[in-house]
Amino acid sequence: MSSFAGVFPYLVSPIAADGTVIETELRRLVDHLIDAGVHGLTPLGSTGEFAYLDWAQRRRIVEIVVAQTAGRVPVVAGVAATTTAEAVRQARDFAAIGVNGILAILEAYFPIPEAGVVAYFTAIADATELPVVLYTNPTFQRSDLSLAAIETLSRHPRIGLIKDASTNTGRLLSILNRTEGRMGVFAASAHIPAAVMMIGGKGWMAGPACAIPRESVRLYELCRAGQWDAAMRLQRALWRVNELFAAHSLAACIKGALQLQGFAVGDPLPPQAPLSAEGRAAVAKALALAAQALAVSPPPP
């Protein structure tokens, strides 16, 4: 099983109006998150708007993140395609750039039979020697990963983690039970991170950690130390941020939050809409609440 654990923010993808990557801001964001103590970085997740980027943009983002990270923390890059051949090509290209792992995503237009889903993820894992994190989001994906498919894939030597973005925490426990120690679970923004940690989760790969990295790291540390009362006090405050991402566009919320913190990361790519004035006010309030909660939450000894 991969040794990845902790807080892995889903990075936003700063894109200028002319379609170029805003390199200075992406590099600033990488340094900011690492300085905040995150355990890894995940470009091209859902928060990174992978579905709205062309290949040149995706590749450039990964190049910048790997270069700026300079080995300080692992970089797990999102691979997403509608064809197996394209997913394999992306995985090999990212491996050559120097990522430390692959977040495997299946895009689908037509429904895919379960055998095809398993074959797609298996081909990605076979394409490189890198550890693979499965990603499933039944809200947005046409072809979900069933428990049976996850159990099958957990037997691959390089598939040892899953980031499950369902809203069903019981499903996470079912995954842990069925894979019998072969598969570790990362929480998503749809789950309560402390609850996932309590049942044996490895951490979380999620957009909110991009906006509240220090608070997320403190929560992880408290959970790891078994200080559940302190963890839940902090978790209750941080959950407001997660609620906003469910109420507004995910990328718009994270980019809006980063803009409020001084990062010129741009707006979501059209036809997505930027965060409304009402949304910005709500996000600003949630960020202040998170900062206050961190200030009164001492680190574990």
Q: What's the pLDDT score for residue 195?
A: 95
- Integer Cα distance of 270 and 90 in angstroms: 24
Quick one: pLDDT at residue 127? 98
Whether residue 271 has a cis bond before it, omega within 30° of 0: yes
Rounded alpha-carbon distances, angstroms, from residue 183 to 43, 74, 77, 150, 157: 22, 19, 19, 9, 11
pLDDT value at residue 301: 86
Q: What percent of the chain has pLDDT over 90?
A: 88
Check if the beta carbon of residue 77 is closer than 8 Å to that of residue 98. Answer: no
The tens digit of pLDDT for each residue in 7-39 reads 999 999 999 999 999 999 999 999 999 999 999
- pLDDT range class, residue 142, cuts 50, 70, 90: low
Q: Could you report the per-residue pLDDT of 147-203, keeping only the tens digit for each?
A: 999 999 999 999 999 999 888 899 999 999 999 999 999 999 889 999 999 999 999
Q: What is the 3-state secondary structure (H, E, C) of the chain?
A: CCCCCEEEEECCCCECCCCCECHHHHHHHHHHHHHCCCCCEECCCCCCCHHHCCHHHHHHHHHHHHHHHCCCCCEEEEEEECCHHHHHHHHHHHHHHCCCEEEEEECCCCCCCHHHHHHHHHHHHHHCCCCEEEEECCCCCCCCCCHHHHHHHCCCCCEEEEEECCCCHHHHHHHHHHHCCCCEEEECCCCCHHHHHHCCCCEEEECHHHHCHHHHHHHHHHHHCCCHHHHHHHHHHHHHHHHHHHHCCHHHHHHHHHHHCCCCCCCCCCCCCCCCHHHHHHHHHHHHHHHHHHHCCCCCC
> Which residues on adjacent β-strands are paired with residue 136?
164
Mean pLDDT across the chain: 95
Domain assignments of the chain as residue spans, ordered by start: 6-224
Bond before 298 cis per omega within 30 degrees? no
Chosen CATH of 6-224 out of 3.30.1490.20, 3.40.50.720, 3.90.1150.10, 3.20.20.70:
3.20.20.70
pLDDT single digits (tens) 223-245: 999 999 999 999 999 999 989 87
Cβ partners under 8 Å of residue 26, min gap 6: 11, 13, 14, 61, 64, 65, 68, 265
265 vs 171: CA distance, rounded Å: 35
pLDDT of residue 109: 87
Q: Helix, strand, coil % (nearest 5) of the chain?
A: 50, 15, 35
CA angle 81, 204, 29 (to 5 degrees): 75
Give the strand order in the sheet containing 184-187: 6-9, 203-206, 184-187, 159-164, 132-136, 101-106, 76-81
Is pLDDT at 138 greater than 90 in this prediction?
no
Look at residue 1 and tell me whether its pLDDT is greater than 70: no
